[in-house]
Structure 1
Amino acid sequence: MDLWTHPRLTAAVASQDWAVLLRTYRRLTGISQTKLGGLVGLVQPDVSDIERGRRRVTSVEVRQRIVSGLGIPPALLATVGERAVPPPVTGLALTGIAPDADLLARVTNAVGGAERVDTATLDWLDRLLAEHRRAEDVIGSRPLTDVMRQQLRTVVDLHSGARGELADRVVRLAAEHAQFLAWMAQDQADSAAALAWYDRAHVWALEAGDAGMAATTLSMKAHMAWSGGLGTRCVRLAEAARWSVPGTSLGVRGMAAQMEARGHALNGDADESHRLLDEAQTLIGQAAERPEDEPPWMYFYDETWFALQRGMAEMHLGSWSVAIGHLTGGLAALPDDYRRDKAWYRACLAHAAAGAGEAEQALTVALQAVPDAAAVGRPHAWNELHTTAAALLRHRAPEGRHLVAALKAHD
């Protein structure tokens, strides 16, 4: 497989995101920062600073050294030259599924012209949100995005007609909708929109006095950092979810602990990662004894889910066989209609098998994941399958070519 057909690399070239480009290139090729620096004429600390966002690549000379040293194809660069690089996104002036100008004004100021609201209306909206969350597990986020945006408009319009405790409950419900929209934006790889919605959800949660949601938004921002390969940021956000919002449930605390563990795993700190994973496992066991104490959005947090998270942490630590055990067990217990999650964790399992040198197993599992990854698992599961193919080819396993052919057939 041509390395430069990988979706993350092509996207990084198109946006001239040098940090993502260097991190992804190293992940796919398995080389160190020192070796990559030798290819592009940079010392290891400079490579590290670029990857972590501490240093921006602004010099034409440095860009050219990266292009030449890594062998970026001219065809990819030609498409970049035909359009201006988009300006950095700041604040809430975002695209995708982020708030548009009208919605932003309304959700920020919580104004509208609704009739007086009552408990029965809010109970119905609570149930409707819960049903949409479960539907998203099955069909993915894209079919629900517009629906949830309109539903949030409805909730915000209720605020002007609410009084006392009902007004607080409307704000809490708005926070839950914003958090769900953030998750769907993240699922669609729209990071800027996801951060905007998480920030809005966090502020509303604090306004409503909802400690569980306030902590959850920090944990989910930690998850975003983990997805971007930023281990230290993941750790710090997860720590904030634990100590800055007291009074959360056992499950919410367990989620923060496992997110912190995954950040340490990303940084290669096995001892701290395992300590926090053990702590999270204890918390999830205790939470399972009193499910009524958990907030409604924590419905998925159970031993099956935790086993899958633990498997991903072990992948970062290079404990491939241990990861395979956790991922296999978790997948066996995951409901069959969770197509998107099945695709993602199968892709992770295929990657772990490739890392363990089990090429045949890697191909078998990857081929099981391909249809759902193509249909409801883009971009995350799809990218992970490309990473698996690269790992197989790096080890000169013929199964890599078979997986590449299967991926091309679904492109």
Structure 2
Amino acid sequence: MGVAASVGMNIGHPKTASPAGDATLLAASRTLFDNYRQLGQAAGPGALLPALIAQTHSLRELSARTGAHTREGLLRLASRYAEYTGWMMQEAGNDQGALWWTRHAVELAAAGGDHDLAAYGHVRHALVTLYRDDAAQTLDLARQAQHSKLPTRIRGLAAQREAQGHALAGDYDACMRSLDRARALLTTPASQSDGPPIIGTTNLPDPVAMITGWCLYDLGRPGEAAEVMSGQMALVPPHALRTRVRYGMRRALAHAMAGELEHACDLAERLLPAAATVDSATITMDMRALARTLARHPKNAAVRRVSPELSTVLRFVNSK
């Protein structure tokens, strides 16, 4: 049971918490959120979703029993739990659930006085359409989150998503312009232990560089993509398994598409155990693409070595 859930056993009773107690509750719930995000790097979504959903509901209910300042803080934090729940829903392969929880996150944030998360909701929605290969909707959603009055981080993440949409559409110049905008906006550090949770990834030291590699692959430049992503993978923290597998598989796929089959197989082979652990529907899409690419070279020794294990992991994640 989470901190807020355990404290919330008396929901429905009159407010009795002191200001100091309110502050402790908010701080403990914030720390717990960081712990859940860290756990999400090393566990499948099924292990997190029940706790995240319960924590979101508990924080929302507890907000009615606190002072005005803490109430806003709890609702805003509940919105971040809901947004993260939406991401885990997408990782579990439930796009409709992902979109529902993203909308719920926007509602909770607005109730807590944060009206900017609505724009980030467009960025999250655009990630769903990106994985559906819908360039037009990805671009439309990303552009809705780039109003000049929005926080620079949200605008930067939206510009980054727009770049991915342009890459899907095959527009190299527009993609690079969007990446330039994203780099100019994403200048603040991706760590914020004493404030609200940072929006977006915290495990990529240079997210724009990594997304540049991602885009180059979609633009049909797998060799360039592999080179860029190889340099960035060395900077990803060892504990960030989900991040390492996500971009590592895309890197392996880029090497395979560039004809570097042995290197692609070596990379994939090292990632497969972690891929089974994090159990990601989005990563599985790149694994399937890698399997199809390798299948074109049945006589290659490295392909024959890796393909059975790759097929086993794909059967495992598809069966869940």
* Alignment size in residue pairs: 297
User: 4+ residue stretches of structure 1 with deviation over 4 A?
Assistant: 289-295
Could you tell me which residue of structure 2 aligns to residue 120 of structure 1?
24
Between the aligned partners of 1:301 and 1:114, the Cα distance in structure 2 is 41
TM-score (norm. length: structure 2): 0.84
Higher relative contact order (CA 8 A, sep 6+): 2
Between the aligned partners of 2:194 and 2:140, the Cα distance in structure 1 is 26
Cα pair distance change 1:348/1:314, threshold 3 Å: same
SS in 1 for 2:133: coil
Q: Does 1:162 align with 2:63?
A: no
Between the aligned partners of 1:370 and 1:290, the Cα distance in structure 2 is 29
Q: Does 1:260 align with 2:159?
A: no
Between the aligned partners of 1:363 and 1:190, the Cα distance in structure 2 is 29
The counterpart of 1:147, out of the listed 27, 45, 51, is: 51
Shift of 1:402: 3.4
Q: Does 1:404 align with 2:303?
A: no
Alpha-carbon displacement from aligned partner over 1:365-405 (angstroms, at most 9, x marks no partner): 11111111122243333332221121133366624443321
Between the aligned partners of 1:241 and 1:355, the Cα distance in structure 2 is 33
Q: Superposed, which structure 2 residues align to 1:169-318 within 5 Å?
A: 169-243=73-147, 246-248=149-151, 250-284=152-186, 286-288=187-189, 295-298=196-199, 300=202, 302-318=204-220
Q: Which has the larger radius of gyration?
A: 1
SS in 2 for 1:394: coil
Between the aligned partners of 2:279 and 2:208, the Cα distance in structure 1 is 20
Cα RMSD after superposing both structures:
2.5
Matched letter for residue 132 of structure 1: Y
Shift of 1:158: 1.1
Could you tell me which residue of structure 2 aligns to residue 387 of structure 1?
289
Matched letter for residue 288 of structure 2: H
Contact 1:343 1:377 in 2 (8 A): no
* Structure 1 alignment gaps of length 5 or more: 1-111
Matched letter for residue 209 of structure 2: A
Contact 1:354 1:392 in 2 (8 A): yes
Cα pair distance change 1:281/1:295, threshold 3 Å: farther
Shift of 1:323: 0.7
Alpha-carbon displacement from aligned partner over 1:291-350 (angstroms, at most 9, x marks no partner): 689852336165433322221111100111221122111211111122222222221111
Shift of 1:208: 2.5
Cα pair distance change 1:201/1:389, threshold 3 Å: same
* Structure 2 alignment gaps of length 5 or more: 1-10, 316-320
Between the aligned partners of 2:240 and 2:170, the Cα distance in structure 1 is 31
TM-score (norm. length: structure 1): 0.66
Shift of 1:247: 3.3
Matched letter for residue 296 of structure 1: P
